[in-house]
Structure 1
Amino acid sequence: MEPPSFHPCDEAVISTNDDASNCKRSAVKLGYWKDDYIAHFVRNPDRKAPEINRGYYARVKGIEMCIEKFFKVSGVRANVSQEENVRNKTGDKCQIVNLGCGFDTLYWRLREAGHMVTNFVELDFPNVTSRKCYQIKRNKVLLEKIHVEDGEVRLSPTDLHSTNYHIVGVDLRNIEEVALKLQQSEIDYSVPTIFLAECVLVYIEPQNCHNLLKWFAANFKTAAFVNYEQVNMNDRFGEVMLTNLRQRGCSLAGVDSCVSLDAQISRFLQCNWHGARAWDMVQIYHSIPASERARTERIEMLDEAELLVQLFQHYCISIAWIGDLFQDIEIT
């Protein structure tokens, strides 16, 4: 099969990384959550509307809650040094594969929290990974976190490989290239693996997306997939969101899987994942501890409380699983 060629709308999709990173930096700067690393990728963010800041807080917090539950099931301990984790090849095994990673700082935040995974692999367009590699290479704070005693950090213009952290430039529509890049990143298909995707699958043509999800399901023995994405896109508010994105050049090729929570679940079941669940962000937000919600709600007053509810109703988190390990996980 001939690999997909670069599509004109890919540039618009790539630019969404800058938008998302800017929004996260805006919220972090105001104190919605702690992230000492995002400032190395986004220097001077534009201040965003309170609804956007709180929406991104719910997004980041929701994904963190998923990961924490997966870690608990996988037996990944906190407060483990990187050197100890590398030596301990018989326990605490868990991999994270971050699809369309952009400038996400999850690896560094997990390191700071003392969570060590066996392997952490980030994939995105080479145009994005080259910028991320450049920032890591020139920043001691970022670089020292991925360096292990007696370990080597190998850098190319688009890829970075260390003992347990890898960034690779790849087109997710090209399965052979994805397989090669994962091999270069020393992925272990027998180890429990968490896939992460934030507004990624919606930009991939349905057949290419199905091929990717089916390939993961066929090759990984035990896996979970955490997907943050649009939902309820067939109502009036969703149509306005679609129009705004299309005006920016984003085609949302996979929007058919974003019409409902059931459609989100069906996407995974049709691709041979063993099970799936989905929640809109209203449910996710209210699953955050009340004291933590109260803290963030004091940061700034909402301009339009109804707008935040509408935004929450049009984004969701879905999880899917392969094998028995992750099948009983509930988020809300």
Structure 2
Amino acid sequence: MDSRSNKEAVQATNDDASASKLSCVKKGYMKDDYVHLFVRRPVRRSPIINRGYFARWAALRKLLNQFLDTEGNAGEKGHLKKQILSLGAGFDTTYFQLQDEGKAPYLYVELDFKEVTSKKATLIETCSHLRDKISATASISRESGEVLSDHYKLLPVDLRDIPKLADVITLAGMDPSLPTFIIAECVLIYLDPDSSRSIVRWTSKTFSTAIFFLYEQIHPDDAFGQQMIRNLERAVAWDMLKVYSDFVEAQERRRIERLELFDEFEEWHMMQEHYCVAYAINDALGLFGDFGFLNHRRQQPQPHVLNPSSSASP
């Protein structure tokens, strides 16, 4: 693999994703008061792209909110410290949104190539709208691509370098025993299969109580899915057509379906069936028994559940 060309490809998709999110926000699909700060040239995406990005955003936020709302036996305060680890975070603005909503976790850590984190650190430092959400005492280095504060960390790393990845997690002050939500949105597809397997193996061994969230052009029976079967206690995967139809609330679907004229149903179905949301669980603290798609509504169709105890050995 050409490391330089790979980095450039990933960075290009980051810019494209930010522009697509802004397109959704401008059309009223979702609220994000920060994404416009990361987009140089706003573009208007087609209705099918807008709807697809909305479905992706809605799935992540619903599962993330389930995680953040989970409580355990945390003593008299009744508040369990949680942390979020975003792999290949790019210009994602979820942390700032959670701050506005009063839902930010104890620690939020974002990782990406230095070329990306340097740009994001620069924007955070120069934009008071962003900087004020981090901390007035945050340490920001444009050259190093680092932002260090008590509850938010932005750090550079090549995810393929597992020893370095482990060092960065230590530098960020993450506690592997705390409940952790790990985000990997369109990240592993840019890595070779061995690197993807190494990352899954590392997360499964490092974080004993964790949700690994994946949005990808991927299927649960490929190499990555099989690695989740081997390494994690429970894994579930739904394609995005099922996520949109059965997991996004009906009233939200009705709302966004009125935003733009839409007649690309055949293409929509085909496109959404080629993306999926998968999540895998380690649950040493016994917190996530009710987590996931089936916690959404009264009775849902059974998802594709990958369970090591019932699957044939790969």
| CA offsets 1:110-152 (integer angstroms, 9 cap, x no match) | 111110211000001111111111111111111111116xxx3
Do residues 156 (structure 1) and 141 (structure 2) align? Answer: yes
Do residues 223 (structure 1) and 182 (structure 2) align? Answer: no
Superposition deviation, residue 223 in structure 1: 0.7
Instruction: Give me the whole-angstrom Cα distance separating, in 2, the residues matched to 1:106 and 1:308.
Output: 26
Superposition deviation, residue 89 in structure 1: 9.5
Instruction: Name which of 54, 57, 60 aligns with 1:60.
Output: 57
> Are the counterparts in 1 of residues 71 and 78 from structure 2 also a CA contact under 8 Å?
no
51-60 vs 321-330, which moves further: 321-330
Cα RMSD for the two superposed structures: 2.0
Instruction: Name which of 114, 121, 129 aligns with 1:126.
Output: 114
> Which residue pairs with 1:326 in the alignment?
288
> Are the counterparts in 2 of residues 196 and 226 from structure 1 also a CA contact under 8 Å?
yes
- Give the SS at the match of 2:281: strand
Do residues 8 (structure 1) and 5 (structure 2) align? Answer: yes
Instruction: Name which of 252, 277, 286 aligns with 2:236.
Output: 277
Q: Could you tell me which amino acid in structure 2 is paired with residue 154 of structure 1?
A: S
1:226-241 equivalent positions in 2, closer than 5 A = 226-230=213-217
How many residue pairs get aligned? The number is 286
Instruction: Give me the whole-angstrom Cα distance separating, in 2, the residues matched to 1:173 and 1:326.
Output: 29
Instruction: Give me the whole-angstrom Cα distance separating, in 2, the residues matched to 1:57 and 1:276.
Output: 23
Superposition deviation, residue 185 in structure 1: 0.9
Q: Could you tell me which amino acid in structure 2 is paired with residue 317 of structure 1?
A: V
Instruction: Give me the whole-angstrom Cα distance separating, in 1, the residues matched to 2:182 and 2:71.
Output: 14
Instruction: Give me the whole-angstrom Cα distance separating, in 1, the residues matched to 2:71 and 2:169.
Output: 21
Q: Could you tell me which amino acid in structure 1 is paired with residue 138 of structure 2?
A: V
Percent of residue pairs bearing the same amino acid type: 40
> Which residue pairs with 2:301 in the alignment?
none
Q: Which runs of 5+ in 2 are unaligned?
A: 295-314
Superposition deviation, residue 207 in structure 1: 1.1
> Are the counterparts in 1 of residues 108 and 152 from structure 2 also a CA contact under 8 Å?
yes
Instruction: Give me the whole-angstrom Cα distance separating, in 2, the residues matched to 1:48 and 1:8.
Output: 26
Q: Which runs of 5+ in 1 are unaligned?
A: 76-87, 231-257
Do residues 206 (structure 1) and 193 (structure 2) align? Answer: yes
Q: TM-score, normalised by structure 1?
A: 0.82
> Are the counterparts in 2 of residues 99 and 124 from structure 1 also a CA contact under 8 Å?
yes
Q: TM-score, normalised by structure 2?
A: 0.86
Do residues 47 (structure 1) and 51 (structure 2) align? Answer: no
Cα distance, 1:105–1:292 mapped onto 2, change above 3 Å: same
| CA offsets 1:276-299 (integer angstroms, 9 cap, x no match) | 000111111122111111110111
> Are the counterparts in 1 of residues 68 and 105 from structure 2 also a CA contact under 8 Å?
no
| CA offsets 1:227-257 (integer angstroms, 9 cap, x no match) | 0001xxxxxxxxxxxxxxxxxxxxxxxxxxx
